[in-house]
Amino acid sequence: MPNFTVIFTHGRESGPWGTKIRVLAKVAEQHGCRVISGDDSDNHDPELRVVRLLDEVKSIDGPVVLVGSSMGGYVATVASQTVRPVGLFLMAPAFGLPGYCNQEPLPVSPELTVVYGWDDDVVSVEPVLAFAKKHQAMLHLVPAGHALLELVDWLAQIFELFLTRCLQIDGNMAKERLLATL
C-alpha cells in the first residue's frame, strides 16, 4: 500500500488541532496515514489559503487525501483541481459565501464526501446541496450546527468508512472519477 498523507484544512474561526481534526487525525493515523494540519489562523483570505495548501503539497510523495471544514472545505475543493487527491472529505463547506472567488468550485477526486448540519447558521444549505448533486457526492445531512461537534463520534465513523474507500482506490478508479467530473 502506498504511503498516504491526510491533510486537514481548518475553518476561518478555528485552528489546526481543534476537536474534529484531533478526532479524525487519530482515525487517519490508525490507518497508517501521515497527518498534516497547517495553521492558517493568521489568514482569513480563502484564496491565499489555497496557495499555502498547494505549497505544502509540493513536498509530499504519494497519494493525498484532503479534509476541510468550513473555509477549509472551500480551500480543499479549490486545491483539489491541482492536487488531484484520492479523497476529498468536506464538513460544512463554505460554498456560496460572499467574498470567495470561486462560487462553484470543481472537486477533482475519485472519493467525495460532504457532511452538512441542518442547523448550520453560517453556510446556507442550498449551495451545499447544489454542489453535492452536481458532483454526485456522498452527502450526509445531519442534525447539527456548523461546527458539527454534536456528532463528532459519528463523524469519526463516517470518516473511517471514507478513508477505507480512499485507501482501496487504484489508478483506474481515480482516472474514471476524474474523467466523470470534467
Confidence (pLDDT) at 171: 44
Residue 179 pLDDT > 70: no
CATH number at residue 133: 3.40.50.1820
What is the DSSP code (8-state) at residue 37? Answer: E
Look at the chain and report how many structural domains it folds into: 1
Residue 20 · residue 155 · CB < 8 Å = yes
Residue 8 pLDDT > 80: yes
pLDDT in tens, 57-74: 999 999 999 999 999 999
Confidence (pLDDT) at 170: 57
- CB contact set of 28 (below 8 Å; sequence gap of 6+): 6, 35, 65, 159, 163
Residue 1 pLDDT > 90: no
- Residue 39 to residue 85: CA distance in whole angstroms: 20
Q: Cα separations (Å) of 62 from 5, 6, 49, 58, 101?
A: 7, 11, 22, 11, 29
pLDDT in tens, 83-135: 999 999 999 999 999 989 998 999 999 999 999 999 999 999 999 999 999 99
Confidence (pLDDT) at 31: 95
Residue 77 pLDDT > 70: yes
Grid cell, residue 137, equals 457526492
- Per the prediction, the chain carries an average pLDDT of 91
Grid cell, residue 103, equals 462560487
**How do 64-69 and 5-9 pair as beta strands?**
parallel
pTM: 0.91
pLDDT in tens, 28-38: 999 999 999 99
Q: How far is CA 162 from the centre of its chain?
A: 11
- Residue 182 to residue 169: CA distance in whole angstroms: 19
Confidence (pLDDT) at 181: 37
| Residue 147 structural domain | 5-181
In angstroms, the first-to-last Cα distance of the chain is 28
